[in-house]
Amino acid sequence: MGIGKLSAVAVKQAKPAERPYKMTDGGGMYLLVDLKGGKYWRLDYRFAGKRKTLALGAYPSITLAEAREARNKARKLLDENTDPGMVKRVEKLTAHHKAAHSFEAVAREWHGKFTPNWTAHTAEKNLRILEINAFPWIGPRPIDEIKAPELLAVIRRAEGRGLLDTAHRLRMTAGQVFRYGIATGRCERDIAADLRGALPARRQRHFAAITDPLKFGQLLRDIWSYQGQFSTACAFKLSALFGLRPGEIRSLEWSEVDTASGQIRIPLGKMKSRRLHTVPLCRQAAEIFDALRPLTGAGRFCFPSLQGTDRPMSENTINAALRRLGYDTQSEQSAHGFRSSFSTMAHGSGLFRVEVVEIQLAHKHGDAVRLAYDRGEYIEERRKLMQWWADECDRMREGAQVIPLRGNTAA
């Protein structure tokens, strides 16, 4: 049986004809040329008394030399009384199994399963940390083959870039993926649990905040004189008046703002506490929204991104505005620090019950039964609280009598 009848030039120059035809190389292998000019390597063989055909790939992805190598491997299997077609099917199934059970596949399945339980920001953050820090290195690996040192090397890449918080979060997120893999039968152990203590402890972080009424008054004067984008200036002022988290302010939608009834209703999917949160609108905040509505009211978001109205403004906008005013967001005042400023002075005034202030901050307090009832309580007290706070902000901004603090309770 002659082998090696074809040449690379003959294969390249083969043209389609009126009907498909074969160009034989020998040893059962040939090039099949179809009516459209497609070229496919095939191997005819017999196994257990039956004639079979094995696909070796398409030209030019598979060259003549590579096709001959595949033929030789198939012939060797036949000499060992093994069906090369069956071996190929098993390899294909194995590759599919590994792809379906890879760390990335399991992680994305886990993420899709639990996204409805998270805020949009948390869902995005959970996936992004894996996409940037894990998938490029262990994403294609079968989850049950990954060992603790391999995961540690991935985590230490983040630590090595000075991102210790990210490294800790990556370990915890990977642990959730492995536990989901255990529950769904894709792996047997949570190797992330073996890495407890492998990273330095995280430094406790407190958001920078001004809690002295005199200094806060100066901050308010600076905010009210801010010369940036009008929508940013509005968000800046509301950051001081609301006590909401920065992400909750920047993602506010006009459908959630009702100045007529004097309240904002933020749905549970957007809150860190994953509960519906009602924010009473003080007179000053309602006026800010009324002034902003002609500019952005036709769109979805109260504070749209400058890059497009289909998404909210950047999470860094308020911090950038603070820095523009000359404030160090690490040591003096941060966007999140407005919550501490509000909490410290509201608690310190002694005018409001602790639970009223805590609910306004959307903090959890008390046991599960109490939490179930607190969702609709204290709205009138909180309305008085927010109007008091806005009036105090006006007084501090104008340099009038400031808040006498009885204590110094931070958020």
Task: Give the pLDDT band of residue 120 (cuts 50, 70, 90).
Answer: confident
Q: Are residues 266 and 338 part of one domain? A: yes
Residues 224 and 297 in one domain: yes
Out of 75, 121, 189, 272, the active site residue is 272
61 and 149 fall within a common domain: no
Residues 322 and 305 in one domain: yes
In a domain, 162, yes or no: yes
Indicate whether 52 pLDDT > 90.
Answer: yes
Residue pLDDT, tens place only, 176-212: 999 999 998 889 999 999 998 888 886 656 788 999 9
Asked if the structure places residue 201 within a domain, the reply is: no
Q: Which of the following is catalytic: 300, 363, 364, 395?
A: 363
Q: Would 16 be classed as within a structural domain?
A: yes
Q: Is 111 a known active-site residue?
A: no
Q: What percent of the chain has pLDDT over 70?
A: 88
Active site residue 76: no
Residue type, 51: R
Name the catalytic one among 245, 250, 270, 397: 245
Does 186 map to a domain? yes
Report pLDDT for 324. Answer: 92
Is-catalytic flag, 96? Answer: no
Q: What percent of the chain is helix, strand and coil (3-state, nearest 5)? A: 55, 10, 35
Q: What is the mean pLDDT of residues 109-116?
A: 92
Would the pLDDT of 372 be above 50?
no
pLDDT value, residue 367: 45
Same domain, 61 and 160: no
CATH code where residue 355 lies: 1.10.443.10
Residues 6+ apart with CB under 8 A from 95: none
Candidates 19, 51, 203, 373; catalytic one = 373
- Judged against a pLDDT cut of 90, whether residue 224 lies above it is answered with yes
Predicted confidence (pLDDT) at residue 242 exceeds the cutoff of 90: no
Domain boundary among 133, 164, 195: 195
Give yes or no: 339 in active site: yes
Q: Known catalytic residue: 363? A: yes
Total domain count for the chain? 3
Among candidate residues 339, 382, 383, 397, the one labeled active-site is: 339
CA distance 149 to 143: 14
Based on the domain organization, do 289 and 355 belong to the same domain?
A: yes
Overall average pLDDT of the 101-130 stretch = 89
The answer to whether the peptide bond before residue 116 is cis (omega within 30 degrees of 0) is no
- Domain span holding position 178: 103-195
Contact of 282 with 387, CB cutoff 8 Å: yes
Which of the residue ranges 9-23, 33-47, 157-171, 354-368 would you say has the lowest mean pLDDT? 354-368
CB 274 within 8 A of CB 119: yes
Name the band, by pLDDT with cuts 50, 70 and 90, for residue 340. Answer: very high
The verdict on whether 206 is a catalytic residue reads no
Whether residue 165 sits in one domain with residue 188: yes
The rounded distance, in Å, linking the Cα atoms of 137 and 290 is 50
What local confidence, expressed as pLDDT, does residue 269 receive? 59
Residue 146 and residue 112 share a domain: yes
pLDDT tens for each residue of 257-311: 998 889 999 886 565 545 678 889 999 999 999 999 999 999 999 999 988 888 9
Residue ending a domain, choose from 70, 94, 118: 94
CATH of the domain at 119: 1.10.150.130
Res. 373: pLDDT tops 50: no
Find the mean pLDDT for residues 365-393. 73
